[in-house]
Every structure is written in C-alpha cells, then in structure tokens.
Amino acid sequence: MMAGSFLRAALLRSVVFVICATMLAPILIVMIVSFSGDGYLKFPPQTFSDQWYLRFLTNARWVGSLWNSLLIALMSCVVATAMGFLAAYAMVRGAFSMRKAVMALLLMPLIVPHVVTAIAIYFMSARFNLIGFKPWIALAHAVVALPVVLIILQSALKAVDPNLERAAMIFGCGRAGVFRRVILPLVTPSVVSALLFSFLISFDELVISLFLAGIRSETLPVRIWNSLMLEVEPTIAAVSTLLIAATCLALVIEWGMRRYQEHRFGAKA
Amino acid sequence: MPLGPLAKWLLLAPAVALLLVLFLTPVGWFISASLMELGSWQDIWDEVAAVMGTGVIVRSIINTNGISLAVTLLTLVIGYPVAYAMTRARGLTFTLILVCVVLPYFTSTIVRTYAWMVILGRNGIINQLLLGMGLVDEPLQLMYNRLGVLIGMTYVLLPYMVLTLFATMKSVDGRLLQAAAGMGARPMTIFTRVFFPLTFHGVMAGSLIVYILAMGFFITPALMGGPGDLMMAMLIEREVELSHNWPVAAIMTIILLVITLSLYAVYTRFSDSSEERLA
C-alpha cells in the first residue's frame, strides 16, 4: 500500500516533469537558436553571434513591421481597455434582466473563429477603402481583445465593496470623484493587466492582420507568416525571441503589480 | 452604487457599438451579401447542395472534426495529470508548473508554431539528433502531415485545457477524498468514484473549449499540415484569397458557425462561470 502510493506519486511527478519540460522546450530552443552563429538552423548551435538580430534590425521591412505592430497594439489596448472598463462597470453595478444575453454577445468574438471575423471585416473594409488603415486595424484587434479585458475588469470590479462608493458619496464625493479616488485606485493593477493583455493580443494577432494589413501596414506576425511561407530561416528565431521577451516582460509587470497591490492593501484586490 | 438604466446603457454603449460595427454587421453583411450574389432562394439552395456534394469540402469538414477530436483527447490526456499536479503543488513547484503552462499560453501562436517547425522540420532538431545517433538513415517526415498538425495544435491548445481543469480541481473539497480513504477506499477507487466525477464538468468544459477553438484553427494546420490536412478555416481563407468565391466561403462559414456556436451553447451549461474560465 505504502510502496504503491510512493510509486504512483513518483510516476505522476516524472510524467508532469516531462510534460512541463516539453511545454517550455520549444520556446527555449527558439531563443537559443536565435543566437546561433551558424549559417543555418542547427541545434545546439556550434557558434554564437548576434547576426540574426543584426539582420532583423538592419532590414527596413522587418523594422517597419515592428513599428506597425507597436503602433497598432498601443492604439488597440487603449481602446479595448477604455471600452471594456465602462462595460465591465455597467455589468457589475447595473441591474440587468438580460445580463446573460449581453455577456454572451460581448464574449462572442472569443468563440467565433478568427478567420470568420477577419474575412467579414475584410469584406466590409474593402468597400470603404480601409485596408491598411492602422486605426481601423487597431479597432478590429480591439474586438477580439475586448472579451478578455471585460473578464479581467469585471472580476476586479466585483471585488470593490459598493459600501466604499456609498460612503464616499455620503461624504459629498460626486460620481467623478468616486471614480477617481475610490474605484480607480482599487482596480489599478487590473487595469494595467487589461492593458498588457490586450496589448499582447493585438501585438501577436495574425489572422485579422493578414487580411486587413495590406502592403501599407504589414505587422510583425504577418511578416513572420510571409517569411515562413518561403523558408524556415533563423531571422524569424530572433524576431520570435523578441516577441517572447515582450510576453515575459508583460507577465512580470503584471505579477509585480499584483504583488504590490496585495502588499499595499493586505489582501487581493 | 447601483446605476440607473440610462447610465448603465451609456456605459455599455461604446463596447456594444464596437461589436456592432466591427463584428456583427460585417459577419452578417459578408454572409448575406455573398449568398445574395447567387440570386434566388432556389439558387442558394442549389449551391448549398452542390457545396455539400463536393469531395474537397466534405473531406475538409471530416478532417476538421477528426483533427479537433484528436486534439481534444490529446490535450485531455496530457493536461489532466498536469492540472492535478498543480492542485497538489505548493510554492516553487507550483510557480514552475504555472510558468510552463502560462508562458506558452501568452506566446504568439505563430511563434509557437514556428518553434515546432524548427524542431520537426526535415533538417530540424529531432532529425539532426536521430541522424547523428545513426538511428535513422534518412530524415523522418514529422511535419507537413497529420502528425505535425496534431503536435502543433495540441501544443497551442494544451494551456486552455490545463487552466480549465485546474480551476475545477482546485474547488474539489479535499475532505471528501480523505473521507473516502478513511472508509477504506483504495486510491484507484477514490479517483474513479469521487475525484473524477467531481471534476467531470471541468473535463467537459475544457474539452468543449478546446474542440471549439480547434474547429476554427488556421495558422498551425496551414503551416504544419500537408495537402491531406485541409481544415474548414483554411478552405474558407482559400476560397476568399485565391478563388474569390465568396458564396462558397459564406456557406462554409455558416456551417462552421453553426457547429461552434451550438457547442458553445452546450459549453455554457457545463461552466457556471464561463467568463472566468475563458480568461
């Protein structure tokens, strides 16, 4: 009996270890390959260099696509977070008879395949000559980022005690004051999370950009896609490593914000 | 403070307007305008019948469901022990497992797909390794076939399964397991009679979400699949980009939407707080 449970635990541990290693390995391999000094993809690399990063940074088309991605993601995350915040507040504090229906609508872009959303927006955009127009692409990205923002902010706002808002109002604080002095400070970490995650969603989005970017606004993922169609070259490893670094940075900032907030208020906000 | 009805709708207005202008209208417009191109109801119906009788299209529907089912089962079998280990782990171990699940989850799909192309390619890492050790004489075909699609998609969708299962398993009351053990149940019995039934709705929710997302997959099968792995999303893209055949794309879209949305309706039944699980 004892030996059996010990064996089972050891077996589970090794299975989980192998799975976790396999989950992480592809990401680590890409990062290692990106520093390869060899002429082609070889693992482990025989020599190390920054040649693929230089090749990326000296190529106008790659750098241009990086700027396009940053610009679009920045616009998109601000729009998605602002709209999502207002909607989340309405969902949490408003009395709803059709809350489920509204929520189902707001979450729909997560369920509907991106190809469908992308082609539909493309169909419309082509008629209004909006292909390649960056604010338009940003809005399209905001559509798929909105559900995630909404989920994050809704659960954050649910945790804000309505009595705090009431108390502030009794002491003569207006709606705007309550918002600025009570609600916002309490949910700041979640607003930052929402901004970061919606930024990442837009920054990494491929399918919608593929249709809407045109030649003018090729984003980084679209550039990777076009390049992958031709060959699996190590420059993409360098670009991928930059994208992975951006993800890590976002996750670390998010984690840090939460730790800070817990420390400050002594509880999970 | 409770909000009045007007304030409530004013706050919702921007988000609803965004979805109306850039989601509902385009989808509705694309489908109706493309079908209208065909002419009368009779013509539309004839086209639907013709589409459903086309070998490539029928095969893509079968492929899509077959691949989605396989990926769902793979993520379930692989994800279940990981989610279970997460509920048991504390401190550093928990953080390490979480990083292994969450980092891929938030990494771009195209980057994750590229990573597997580096590993599985003809001159990829696995083939270099096997050739180097003399285990094979020529590179194995690990990609541009069904195997590549399954590996790539399972990798991309695994975090969804693990996080959904973890959310359910975390809420299982450990005292129930202790009670079962106290009354003499063996570990296997505790698992099959207590733990698994208690996590069953998580299994259903996770499986449905993975299946739904797999149905609409495009990037990974397009890059890692072969000619025999054409999925519905790829076919829709091809009809639009290459053949400019909007009516066929619209009909395929309707089929895809009907399947995914009805599965989503089932999904909402299995997860009372569907919103939180999706995040």
User: DSSP letter string over A238-264?
Assistant: HHHHHHHHHHHHHHHHHHHHHHHHHHH
**Residue from A8, A12, A17, A19 to probe the interface with B (highest B Cβ count within 10 Å):** A19
Identify the domain containing residue A100 by its residue range: 62-265
Structure tokens at A26: 């592809």
- Partner-chain contact A8 B14, CB within 8 Å: no
Task: Give the pair of three-digit tokens for residue B237.
Answer: 């893209």
Instruction: Give dist(CA A227, CA A235) in Å, integer.
Output: 9
Taking residues A66-84, report their average pLDDT: 97
Contact flag A148-B279 (C-beta cutoff 8 Å) = yes
Instruction: Give A18: exposed, middle or buried? Use CB within 10 Å, 0-12, 13-18, 19+.
Output: exposed
Structure confidence by residue, pLDDT tens digits, B158-176: 999 999 999 999 988 888 8
A243 lies in some domain: yes
Q: How many CB atoms lie within 10 A of CB A185?
A: 12
Q: Does residue B30 sit within a domain? A: no
Answer whether residue A17 is part of any domain. Answer: no
Closest CA to B252 of B263, B270, B238: B238
From the list A33, A61, A177, the residue with the least C-alpha distance to B119 is A33
Residue B50 belongs to a domain: no
Q: In chain A, which among 109-168 make CB contacts under 8 A with chain B? A: 109-117, 119-124, 139-140, 142-143, 146-148, 150-152, 154-155, 162, 165-166
B240 vs A119: CB contact, 8 Å cut-off?
Answer: yes
Higher pLDDT, B1 or B144: B144
Among A83-87, A159-163, B66-70, the least confident range: A159-163
Residue B115 maps to which CATH number?
A: 1.10.3720.10
User: In the prediction, which pLDDT does A240 show?
Assistant: 94
What average pLDDT does the segment B62-74 reach? 97
Phi, psi of A94 (to 5 degrees): -85, 150
Q: What is the mean pLDDT of chain A?
A: 89
> Domain limits at B138?
78-171+197-278
* Residue A122 lies inside a defined structural domain of this protein: yes
Cβ(A151)–Cβ(B273) below 8 Å: no
Please tell me the total count of domains within chain A: 1
A100 pLDDT tier (thresholds 50, 70, 90): confident
CATH number of the domain enclosing A205: 1.10.3720.10
Tell me the percentage of chain B whose pLDDT exceeds 70.
96
Q: B243 lies in a domain? A: yes
Of A13, A29, A204, the CB nearest to B125: A29
Is residue A205 situated within a structural domain? yes
Residue A103 included in any domain: yes
**pLDDT of amino acid A267:** 53
CB contact under 8 A, A143 and B22: yes
Spell out the long-range contacts of A58-61 with Cβ–Cβ below 8 A and sequence spacing 24 or more: A59/A235, A61/A218, A61/A223
Residue A188 has pLDDT above 50, yes or no: yes
- The tally of domains found in chain B comes to 1
> How many Å lie between the alpha carbon of B17 and the closest alpha carbon of chain A?
10
Q: Could you tell me the pLDDT band of residue B275, with boundaries at 50, 70 and 90? A: very low
Q: Is residue A1 part of a domain?
A: no
pLDDT of B273 over the 60 cut: no
End-to-end Cα separation, chain A, in angstroms: 44
Max CA distance (Å), chain A: 72
CA distance B232 to B222: 11
Q: Is the pLDDT at A3 greater than 80, yes or no?
A: no
B118 and A86 within 8 Å at the Cβ level: the answer is: no
Nearest CA in chain B to A84: B15
Cβ–Cβ gap B11/A30 under 8 Å: no
Is B218 domain-assigned?
yes
Quote the pTM value: 0.91
Per-residue model confidence (pLDDT) at position A113: 96
Residue B109 in any domain: the answer is yes
Token pair for A208: 């919608």
Contacts of B215 in chain A (CB under 8 A): 113
Question: In angstroms, rounded to a whole number, what is the distance separating the alpha carbons of residues A206 and A140?
Answer: 12
**B86 pLDDT higher than 90:** yes
Task: Categorise residue A48: left if φ over 0, alpha if ψ from -120 to 50, beta otherwise.
Answer: beta
